[in-house]
DNA sequence: AAAACACGTCTTGTATACAAAAAAGTTGAC
DNA sequence: GTCAACTTTTTTGTATACAAGACGTGTTTT
């Protein structure tokens, strides 16, 4: 699907922004990127436009594109919306989730547990992502699933940050268990509440982390 | 903001798709559009890419772009997500809505009522849009507001269709009143339930409409 | 006659060339 | 010495030129 050069470049640029190569506020020069990727400006521009629409960078007409630093307030808002979307997913999933999907959630959680014991943050993160993706899928609403994946992906770097907090991995694990239990019981409201809390906590932890690290960042 | 020619063209194309000039499945030829808008292919391509990402058209590599017909199932899913997003908005809004915003909602509803009596579907639609925009805004979550506006805009042509059903305008009006009442009472859950129902009904009506008009459309 | 291969055309994707606008640097006047 | 206007330079936005893949058609071969 992503056959076009510009699409590949867009993904590359996204990774470069996520891993901090291009920090917030940095200008993305078209010709520099063109030489860097050994292509002309055309695919670069298309890639930048994609990133603009997805909200990762900001395009100021006749001025250039700059990587957008979402700002603490906006990030908290995004976590709040994520929590609500996941709550909807869980509520819908509780009504129709299949036994094999529950098994999948449980085995994913087991692998999560192993990652926690091995202090493997990356491993935990991978399994955590899988866990949530399963819930989205089990909502039975493909559009909702896509929207959840989109927002989840957008919050990825910030979510990752918050996971580094002391004891957060273990706490997150326990929350996952509660979610699976509620889903298994077919209790949509409980599942929704559990996952909403799970994500809301992420937002709060992130908020705490940022406000302590950068006391007065603009 | 939308200073670039490609941005203007994107909006134009969107309107042309919405009003049916380009029906579902139609191919959007780059050179034809270029001559039509008296520009080169470059801004056309940028505009088409924007529409692709927003989901209005589908881009098949090396084949061209085609206006996407979302399909009944997907549309119902989108209405479901819309209902939930609006429910979240209303729940949040109930806690913090200001008196002047309530006044605004009420006056908007009054203009709605006038439009109903005048059989003015367009007028009703305009005020209806305003009504919902106020609720989004009053959620206090800017990101949520943007997401709601985005989805609302995407569902616009289909919502419009469903409003043509007999008695739907009056029914919709009553639902609006119930929403305002719940917001005024500060009852978040009631407001959420009311607006969720309000939007869910739209999806159901739309579903009914489509399945009766096109009994076996693929 | 049917199938397969090759060629030609058409369309997308990319590169380059050009135009316009904004930023920066310079010069001149007060 | 400072401010302002003009020029230069840099960079975005658009047009055009070029390349490469996909589809159709026609011919050839079995």
Q: How many CB atoms lie within 10 A of CB A17?
A: 20
* Contact (CB, 8 A) for B115 and B124: yes
Same-domain check for residues B135 and B83: yes
One domain, residues A31 and A101:
no
Upper half-sphere CA count for residue A177 (Cβ side, 13 Å): 10
Mutate to test the interface with B, among A76, A77, A95 (most CBs of B within 10 A): A77
Rounded to whole angstroms, the Cα distance separating B39 from B51 reads 18
A4 alpha-carbon distance from chain centroid: 25
- For chain B positions 65-84, those within 8 Å of chain A (CB to CB) are 74, 77-78, 80-81, 84
Helix H or strand E segment including B201:
helix B188-213
A161 and A181 within one domain: yes
Asked if residue A94 and residue A26 are part of one domain, the reply reads no
Q: Do B12 and B97 lie in a common domain?
A: no
Last residue of one domain, picked from the residues B67, B100, B115:
B67
* pTM of model > 0.80: yes
Q: What is the mean pLDDT of residues B40-48?
A: 96
Based on the fold, state whether residues B13 and B107 are members of the same structural domain: no
For chain A, give the mean pLDDT. 91
B209 and B104 share a domain?
Answer: yes
Q: Specify whether the CB–CB gap between B78 and B151 falls below 8 A.
A: yes
Are B49 and A50 inside 8 Å of each other by CB? yes
Listed in sequence order, the residues at least 6 apart from A20 whose beta carbon sits closer than 8 Å to its beta carbon are: none
Residue B80 has pLDDT above 50, yes or no: yes
Our CA dihedral for A183, A185, A186, A192, rounded to 10 degrees, sits at -50
- Find the domain containing B87 and state its range: 72-213
**Whether residue A80 is found in the same domain as residue A34:** no
Q: How far is CA A80 from CA A155, B44, B50, B54, in A?
A: 11, 37, 27, 23
Asked if B46's CB is within 8 angstroms of A81's CB, the reply is no
CATH of the domain at B31: 1.10.10.10
Q: In this predicted model, what pLDDT tens digit does every residue of B143-187 receive, in sequence order?
A: 999 999 999 999 988 888 887 788 888 888 999 999 999 999 999
More confident position, A20 or A88: A88
The predicted-structure confidence for B5-21, as pLDDT tens digits, reads as follows 899 999 999 999 998 89
- Report angle CA B10, A143, B44 to the nearest 5 degrees: 15
Residue B20 and residue B82 in one domain:
no
Residue A96's CATH number: 1.20.120.530
Stronger pLDDT, A66 or A4, i.e. the higher one = A66
Q: Count how many domains chain B has.
A: 2
Show which of A42, A67, A92 is a domain's final residue.
A67
Does B189 map to a domain? yes
Q: What is the pLDDT of residues A67-76, one digit of tens each?
A: 998 889 999 9
> Strand (E) positions, B27-87?
27-28, 57-60, 64-67
Please list, in sequence order, all residues whose beta carbon lies within 8 angstroms of the beta carbon of residue A42, skipping any fewer than 6 positions away.
Answer: A6
A146 is near strand C: CB distance < 7 Å: no
- As for the ipTM of the complex, it is 0.89
Asked if A61 and B1 come within 8 Å (Cβ–Cβ), the reply is: yes
pLDDT computed for residue A121 by the predictor = 80
In a domain, B157, yes or no: yes
Contact (Cβ atoms closer than 8 angstroms) between residue B191 and residue B179: yes
pLDDT at residue A211 in the model: 85
Residue at B30 is within a domain? yes
The edge-to-edge listing of strands for the beta sheet with B64-67 is: B27-28, B64-67, B57-60
pLDDT at A68: 92
A96 and A174 housed in the same domain: yes
Q: Please check whether residue B218 lies inside any domain of the structure.
A: no
Q: Is residue A218 part of a domain?
A: no
pLDDT above 70 (res A214): no
A160 assigned to some structural domain:
yes
> Which band of pLDDT confidence, cut at 50, 70 and 90, is reported for residue B77?
very high
In order of A65, B79, B86, B131, the CA distances from B128 in angstroms are: 36, 16, 13, 5
Best residue in B30, B77, B147 to probe A by mutation, most A CBs within 10 Å?
B77
Q: Which residues of B touch A74 (CB under 8 A)?
A: 142-143
B residues 35-54 lying closer than 8 A (beta carbon) to A:
45-46, 49-50, 53-54
């Amino acid at each position: 699907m992503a056959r076009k050069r510009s699409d590949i470049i867009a993904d590359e640029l996204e990774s470069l922004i996520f891993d901090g190569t291009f920090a917030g506020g940095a200008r993305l020069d078209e010709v520099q990127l063109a030489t860097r990727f050994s292509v002309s400006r055309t695919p670069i521009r298309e890639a930048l436009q994609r990133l603009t629409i997805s909200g990762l960078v900001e395009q100021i007409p006749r001025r250039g594109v700059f990587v957008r630093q979402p700002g603490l307030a906006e990030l908290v808002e995004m976590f709040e919306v994520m929590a609500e979307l996941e709550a909807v997913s869980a509520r819908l999933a509780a009504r129709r989730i299949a036994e094999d999907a529950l098994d999948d959630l449980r085995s994913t959680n087991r692998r999560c547990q192993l990652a926690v014991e091995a202090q493997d943050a990356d491993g935990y993160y991978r399994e955590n992502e899988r866990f949530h993706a399963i819930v989205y899928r089990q909502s039975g609403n493909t559009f909702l699933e896509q929207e959840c994946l989109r927002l989840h992906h957008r919050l990825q770097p910030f979510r990752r940050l918050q996971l580094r907090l002391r004891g957060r991995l273990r706490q997150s694990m326990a929350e996952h268990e509660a979610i699976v239990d509620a889903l298994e019981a077919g209790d949509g409201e409980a599942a929704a509440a559990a996952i909403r809390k799970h994500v809301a906590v992420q937002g709060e932890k992130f908020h705490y982390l940022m406000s302590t690290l950068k006391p007065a960042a603009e």
